[in-house]
Structure 1
């Protein structure tokens, strides 16, 4: 009986224990369910607040794009800056509509993040940081986005291209950068060349469009069927039937094809840019610019009548420093044309040359130089200590660089040329040059000062780049440091035809034309053999040579905007670029 009572007591305790156990399990399940519901609700609030912040950013971007994208640039950069600041003040704290209960979203701030303008600087791009704040049931999210407004001409964004014409790539040129096509992109594996008066061709690979560390490497064209190809030089071009075929014909990927409305291309007017920069030398006075435009004579190398307006202004002291605003109108010394030169004549001329060289080598103000101006034997430098927006050297005639010595001649500063531009030999450069004539670059070594600068050369006439010193062997991949490489970005208002068959054409910069641009190139080494009627090409099969060993390489230099910010031309329209979004830390 005693044992029975003990067993009943144990059973009672077991029942109580089980009840407590199930009660604890039930509470745990209930707690987990409630916590999960709260977490789910919180997660939904986070997602909703993020979407609301994104909606606010999209609205701000749409407002900015509608206000500025494509805006005619009758205004000056300083005026655009003032408009931006006013726009920021008016748009800050703008509420964003939402139908969610307990939710709010607005533009917390639009902040100009660029550096303030310093004296003499020309601002061509404007960075805005837009931050949106959204709150849903206590869940707060801040989302930011960069928006860039700039007034650069579009050609500077591409390593190679044509605004209005065809881009014709024959053989295997190698482009590390973006490619712009105005009309049609025509691709062939046959490279043409001229030799001993004959028009010849050689089989190579199709062209290469490469990226730079995951960037660029895109082809911008109005439609996929505007990309065409052929296997030889006589058959008709065939439109690209499948974007996937771009792998064969451009060594690229279908995702690299970007459709673009050519009507939105922001063009450059070379003559208007010339007048803009000339007017800047006297403070960008609209009245002066009107006088320059009225006296401007198209197609005439000498612009005496126009430049006399600037020369008179250079004599003034608008800056108030007690000195003329410009250096005046300088004329290079000329050796006297006498039957017999005396020692005194020679010494006088030598002194004048030294004095003129000293002026060119230490410029501090805008100046007009009577052309032709030749750098080489007597004059080794054009050097502005301050490369500001108003400091331009204006050559009234031709600018010639002819230097075959081991030492480089130097140009640091921005130059306007009314005539032709001829560059031969070694040139170290940090300059923007705008010319109204034609440009010829022959057997040149153009190297950026300090290894990071370059030359932007904008030519109204054709740009011809070639080498008589051809047939350099290609023993390795393209390199920015190689003697062949030109640190330059060329633009021509005309058509262009370039060769990397006998010559080696390596460029750290870019090349852009308004009209058609045609490039012929092969891979590896090339040589001429006496008695042969055609060139001899690399012993390796063209199919076995990597694209980086092309005789024609353009390696786009994105530093063109920062290197030449004070000299780059102004364009008619503002361009709005929408950057990436990112979540701000709480």
Structure 2
């Protein structure tokens, strides 16, 4: 009996010790959790405070930049002094936690003396988030924003758009069911649920769902909504869009844009002045040049074996009305600037690679036959720019031109039967005085699979056109037979019309018309995803205006 009582006492003591230990452990965990919660609150407060301070810095920075008139600071050395003063003042106003670094050189192929050669700048702003523990400030996170200062026109900031100051300018029409990721800009924006197209029987229309958007729509005058080609559109004045939501039925799967108005902040491009300025900058008149003149032949054909390609000076100047570079037998490589007093056609039976500036007093044509063409440079073209692939309908379209280029044409732009890829992960920026036509891109190509992803803007395939297109006139694009995927943007001063359907399409004398229900859930045949990297990847070649754009990048917290 005594042994049983002793055992019971030991058991009670053991249970008591276990309970006390568990209690102390729970208490310790609770205290530690409370402490960690307190630290988390401190960290959150510190990050919030740092972000507020960063916003103040950006506002001060922007106000100072808006006061810089490039007409006054046309001397880039004085401009650099002014920028240094602005940055130093910001650091003085925020002596604790703020770091400002000029990272412009990271985006230039040749950063030699860039401070005195370019207006564009890229700054990295960092602000340390600090919390106070035991009366000491500890850095816990760093808030980072990228700021781009660029004297570039505003159209580069939009996926699609149309704007001009005249009454007949600024008309953006999106017919059918496109996917547009990025901001839009227009005086008048029209959306419809049918697509215009042309087949062998003539012009027609096809009913579709409406378009899907991921971004903001800056509408300056009005929004028009159509449900058939003959109906009276429903109209919303721009100011009304800010307070009255548009019915979700006008947007594919409720993927609607955020409607906004803009202050007088849109910076247009003066095409003629920009063209003349670029031509003056690139002119070979003061450079070493090899001059070729042959008036006896109607067309000069130059192959890769030609001595002038390898033995010439900085410029090859060809005084002839029609010149052809032809890679018929071996790859064609040239690392010179080219001036042609007439038309220049570049034909690729074998691979062609050209690095250098091009000036032509006639048309410039890239003609892909059986091998890709690569071009790295700036082109100034008095006539039209043509980018053409092989139009053989019996083979899969695999023609490709690779660009790291900014090209200006006083005539038209015509792109057909070819893909445009980015050279060195960059892109083409094409600006024309007259209309732009982009046609027969991946014509009647089928999606595999045709069903869209849960995120309808998620594309795993490479863009078929890595480019920005701008025209001082008008552009019409058809994503019906063609299959467009543009990583860049399209902008027209007068008017831009986009037509699009969803899913696969079968070629015939007349196109079979899938119903809007059958198109729902399918990938769009016209997709644009805005490429914001153009402002840094083409930093030294973009067209310039007389005022700086202040462009703020996304927030990162590390």
In structure 2, C-alpha distance between the alignment counterparts of 1:265 and 1:238, rounded to whole Å: 27
In structure 2, C-alpha distance between the alignment counterparts of 1:72 and 1:232, rounded to whole Å: 48
User: Which residue of structure 1 aligns with residue 251 of structure 2?
Assistant: 249
Match of 2:370 among 406, 411, 426: 406
Deviation at 1:52, TM superposition (A): 6.0
Classify 1:138/1:422 alpha carbon distance in 2 versus 1 (closer, same or farther; 3 Å): same
Residue 553 (structure 2) pairs with residue 576 (structure 1): no
Residue 192 (structure 2) pairs with residue 231 (structure 1): no
Match of 2:486 among 493, 496, 507: 507
The question of whether the paired residues in 1 share the 8 Å contact of 2:209 and 2:520 is answered with: no
User: Which residue of structure 1 aligns with residue 172 of structure 2?
Assistant: 167
Q: For the aligned residues, what is the CA RMSD?
A: 4.3
User: Which residue of structure 1 aligns with residue 58 of structure 2?
Assistant: 61
Give 1 or 2: higher strand fraction.
Answer: 2
CA deviations over 1:479-530 (Å, ceiling 9, x no partner): 7757x92332211111211212233334333211112211122223434545
Q: What's the TM-score once normalised by structure 2's chain length? A: 0.71
Residue 347 (structure 2) pairs with residue 376 (structure 1): yes
CA deviations over 1:42-62 (Å, ceiling 9, x no partner): 999888876765554343222
The question of whether the paired residues in 2 share the 8 Å contact of 1:144 and 1:581 is answered with: yes
Deviation at 1:227, TM superposition (A): 3.1
Deviates more, 1:348-357 or 1:79-88: 348-357
User: Which residue of structure 1 aligns with residue 503 of structure 2?
Assistant: 524
Q: How does 1:24-63 map to 2 (within 5 A)?
A: 53=50, 56-63=53-60
Residue 206 (structure 2) pairs with residue 202 (structure 1): yes
Give the count of matched residue pairs: 473
User: Which residue of structure 1 aligns with residue 122 of structure 2?
Assistant: 126
In structure 1, C-alpha distance between the alignment counterparts of 2:402 and 2:554, rounded to whole Å: 35
The question of whether the paired residues in 2 share the 8 Å contact of 1:330 and 1:367 is answered with: no
State the secondary structure of the residue aligned to 1:263: coil
State the secondary structure of the residue aligned to 1:440: strand
User: Which residue of structure 2 aligns with residue 263 of structure 1?
Assistant: 264
Classify 1:133/1:50 alpha carbon distance in 2 versus 1 (closer, same or farther; 3 Å): closer
Deviation at 1:427, TM superposition (A): 4.4
Structure 1 unaligned segments of length 5 or more: list them.
1-28, 30-34, 96-104, 210-216, 282-309, 315-323, 338-345, 385-390
In structure 2, C-alpha distance between the alignment counterparts of 1:36 and 1:174, rounded to whole Å: 47
Q: How does 1:396-545 map to 2 (within 5 A)?
A: 396-403=361-368, 405-425=369-389, 426-430=399-403, 431-441=405-415, 443-448=416-421, 452-467=425-440, 470-477=443-450, 485-527=464-506, 529-530=508-509, 535-537=510-512, 541-545=515-519
The question of whether the paired residues in 2 share the 8 Å contact of 1:416 and 1:435 is answered with: yes
Match of 2:297 among 308, 313, 336: 336
In structure 2, C-alpha distance between the alignment counterparts of 1:377 and 1:37, rounded to whole Å: 71
State the secondary structure of the residue aligned to 2:105: coil
In structure 1, C-alpha distance between the alignment counterparts of 2:469 and 2:175, rounded to whole Å: 20
Classify 1:428/1:45 alpha carbon distance in 2 versus 1 (closer, same or farther; 3 Å): closer
Residue 286 (structure 2) pairs with residue 313 (structure 1): yes
Structure 2 unaligned segments of length 5 or more: list them.
1-26, 165-169, 311-315, 317-324, 326-331, 390-398, 453-458
Classify 1:112/1:488 alpha carbon distance in 2 versus 1 (closer, same or farther; 3 Å): closer
The question of whether the paired residues in 2 share the 8 Å contact of 1:429 and 1:448 is answered with: yes
